[in-house]
Amino acid sequence: MTPEERFQAKLHKKHLDEKYLQRQLAKLKEDKSEILIRIKNYKRIQKRKYPNSKDFYFPQQQLIKLLKTNNRTVNLLAKEKLIENTFGFMKPVFSLSNITFFIQSLK
């Protein structure tokens, strides 16, 4: 494979990822109220367990369950800097306040 072909393949993959991410953002936008309810319930449960904590952190698998999406979507959201990985040098860990802000900002 020549360098030009590799470059074209990367561009094509990036274009497909962008289209996929747009579809997933539309789904998240439709389910916005349900997601916010799930976040509120999760926050309430965590407040009982850890009453002195200001912010809650959870792994990528928990975020997938919370948003009812898949790994690819979460990875693309993090790659495009729409959601922030709190500890970048470890396994992906996300802040509940960042996720709440992201969901609320969907229009």
Structural domain span for residue 64 = 3-105
Q: How far apart are CA 69 and CA 104, in angstroms?
A: 17
- pLDDT confidence of residue 55: 86
Q: How many other CB atoms sit within 10 Å of the CB of residue 85?
A: 20
39-51 per-position pLDDT tens digit: 999 999 998 888 8
Number of domains in the chain: 1
For the chain, which ranges sit under pLDDT 50?
Answer: none
- Answer left, alpha or beta for residue 42, where phi above 0 means left and psi between -120 and 50 means alpha: alpha
Phi, psi at residue 94, to the nearest 5°?
Answer: -120, 150
- pLDDT confidence of residue 22: 96
